[in-house]
A and B are shown apart, each in its own frame.
Chain A
Amino acid sequence: MGMIALTIYWLLDVIVNGIVLFKNGIFVAISLFYVVCFLTLLISKSIFSQKKIYLQPLFILAVATILYFAAIIPFFGLMNYLTTNDMSLAIKLFKINIVAAILRYGLVAIAFYLYGNQAKGVHVT
């Protein structure tokens, strides 16, 4: 619901103000929303799970999402300021996004690997 509301807000903002500037506020809000949602998911998983959570694909996937969105919040919050005043610095700091994305998709790959292994294990027994 929150995600839908934020997307609608972003669409309305684009329609009204155009897409000249990066929508900092909405992007940060969406990132925070993701972080909070996935943290809630992690907490519920860690409380009720009877297995080791760090070996569960859903946990790894949630960690990947949280780490990515948490890491890019400061940089994307300053995106408009940077692109307007110092483009070279914006390009330099964009590396944060690249590193965070590599970390995120690395973890996603691990999650898929674990999921595949678990599915195979279930099939064998």
Chain B
Amino acid sequence: MLHNDIVLTVLVSTLLILLLVAGVIITMILANRRHVQQEVKMAQMQVEYEKELRMVENEVQEQVLTNVARELHDNIGQLLTLIRLQLEQEKLDNEDIAQKLTPVDSTLTETIDQVRMLSHSLNTDYLESQGLNYAIEKEVDRLSKLRKLKVHWDTNGIEPAFDKGKRIMIFRMLQEVLNNALKHATAKNIYITMRAGEGFTLEIKDDGRGFDKEMVMSSGKGSGLNNLQKRAKLAEVSLHITSATGKGSIFTFSES
């Protein structure tokens, strides 16, 4: 074999083998890229699906709460008013027991008031017309009348430019935090501050017993907190929780 033939044979065969290998490797990279794109698409679809599902859940929950609110207002509220009228009639008919019925009448009046406010709190129809400031003010009134704690409400008066769905979600999250403060925190004071206009911040601070966030989350008892985080994500606001045992807690919802 000639000198040049050998060189040519070795070089050409080396190049051919390398080309073949390069072809295989490039095919694999392309296949992998397609696979990764498909995975990303699947993950996005999953996220979209979960978002849709949560939206539907929220809508169903809102519908149920609206129905309960209507029942409370139209049915139970009316029955309580009727009882009150009968009581008034009884007081007029039997003046000798009127004195005894006075505390019953005052408890009944308070019950009617509470039912009306609870119905108002569950129904979010007015959120669209009256706004978040008004809804929170009504919620503060309702909680204050329970006389379990003092609720301090501070706002700059500007209505955040959110659609009804987002307002409802924020309002429900606020209710959840307030409910937790009532049930678990044994707080004496709750401070609610809302600032809207350039950005949005809603801070709920209590002076209750607080909690160790890491411990609560790791012990599996933080389903409420997890749920709040998920709902905040769905409402496209960020939620920051600051709390320590014995030092109360601060929940801050914000949007820049």
Contact = CB atoms under 8 A, between A and B. Distances in A.
Given A75-B10, A75-B14, A93-B6, 14 more contacts: A39-B21, A45-B32, A47-B35, A49-B35, A52-B36, A63-B25, A66-B21, A66-B25, A67-B18, A70-B18, A74-B17, A86-B6, A89-B3, A96-B11
A88 to B, nearest CB: 9
Given A39-B24, A51-B36, A70-B18, A96 B31 contact: no
A114 interface: no
B1 to A, nearest CB: 8
B79 interface: no
What is the interface of chain B mostly: helix, strand, loop, or mixed?
helix
Contacts of B9: 74
Interface in B1-40: 3, 6-7, 9-11, 13-14, 17-18, 20-21, 24-25, 28-29, 31-33, 35-36, 39
Contact of B31 (A35, A46, A74): A46
Contacts, number: 70
A67 B10 contact: no
B13 A53 contact: no
A11 interface: no
Contact of B3 (A42, A71, A86): A86
A80 to B, nearest CB: 13
Contacts of B6: 78, 82, 86, 89, 93
A105 interface: no
* Those 10 A-B pairs whose CB atoms lie nearest each other, nearest first: A46-B28, A74-B13, A46-B32, A53-B32, A70-B21, A70-B17, A74-B10, A74-B14, A50-B39, A46-B31
B89 to A, nearest CB: 72
A59 to B, nearest CB: 9
Given A50-B36, A52-B36, A82-B6, A43 B14 contact: no
Contacts of A46: 28-29, 31-32, 35
A54 interface: yes
A81 to B, nearest CB: 8
A47 B31 contact: yes
13 contacts: A49-B32, A50-B35, A53-B32, A54-B29, A70-B18, A71-B18, A72-B14, A73-B13, A78-B10, A89-B3, A92-B7, A96-B10, A96-B14
Contacts of A35: 21
A106 to B, nearest CB: 15
Contacts of A75: 10, 14
Contacts of A73: 13-14, 17
Contacts of A49: 32, 35-36
Given A75-B10, A78-B6, A53 B28 contact: yes
